[in-house]
Amino acid sequence: MFQNDCTLTEGILLIDKPCDQTSFSAVAAIRKETLQKKIGHTGTLDPFATGLLVLLLGRSWTKKAPLFLHHDKEYEAIFCLGKATDTYDCDGKVTHQSDFEPSSQDINKVLLFFQGTYVQTPPMFSAKKIDGTRLYELARKGIQVERKTGEVTIETTLLNYTYPYLSLRIKGSKGTYVRSIAQDLGEKLGCFAYVSSLRRTQSGPFRLQDSLPLNECLSLSLEELQNRLLRSI
């Protein structure tokens, strides 16, 4: 465990969040080990998702959180075609299925709809609040509510397609839900789709290759941690 000197652990820490762990639990683990009470992040990742999580350590940095909220984020995503789930991802229950196998031409054509301005509807299983209640809390109770659409800017790049798996690089502006892209893309193809894996590779100027896996961060000495912290943006 690090020394109890929070002033020594202030800055930006880039971690690679593992699968099946919430962003909150990742923050809690770093807080426990560093004894730094004030820790925030610049954008949550779903439990099934992996990749870049930008942590802000110390009061002087958590106060700057609004400066990071407008950042574009980039992901590598794999969509599974042929099925839809209630969460739009691999953690949900299958709600629809289709035997239709889109061709490569079908894929290239539909991706034209996911470039530039994109109007999306937030998933019911999301942290967005409606009248003070997070949508996922309502969804877990089986309650469906109308959600307002939002306009974001996206850029999608085809990486690979071997049915049923479609690999994409997706860059999106603030508030982009990759799971909504999967849901909408599946509907346009007429075969359904959900996100089977998601990895965040960039957030604003911060890149995944400059991060460290969470378990390695937790094994660092105080001096090693100091060397990992960023103190300018």
The H-assigned helical ranges of 126-197 are 135-140, 178-189
In the block, which residue shows the tokens 């300018």? Answer: 232
Helix (H, G, I), strand (E, B) or coil at 12: strand
Q: Is 46 a catalytic residue?
A: yes
What's the rounded Cα separation, in Å, for the pair 207 and 210? 6
Query: Which residue has 């209640």 as its token pair?
Result: 133
Provide the CB-side half-sphere exposure for 222 (13 A, CA). Answer: 13
Structure tokens at 118: 């994109």
Which of 186, 130, 122, 192 minimizes the C-alpha distance to 151? Answer: 122
DSSP character at residue 8: G
| CA–CA–CA angle 148, 23, 35 (5° rounding) | 135
For 223, phi then psi, to 5°, come to -65, -40
Q: Which of 46, 86, 89, 184 is catalytic?
A: 46
Residue 223 and residue 143: Cα distance in Å, rounded?
49
Among all residues, which ones are annotated catalytic? 46
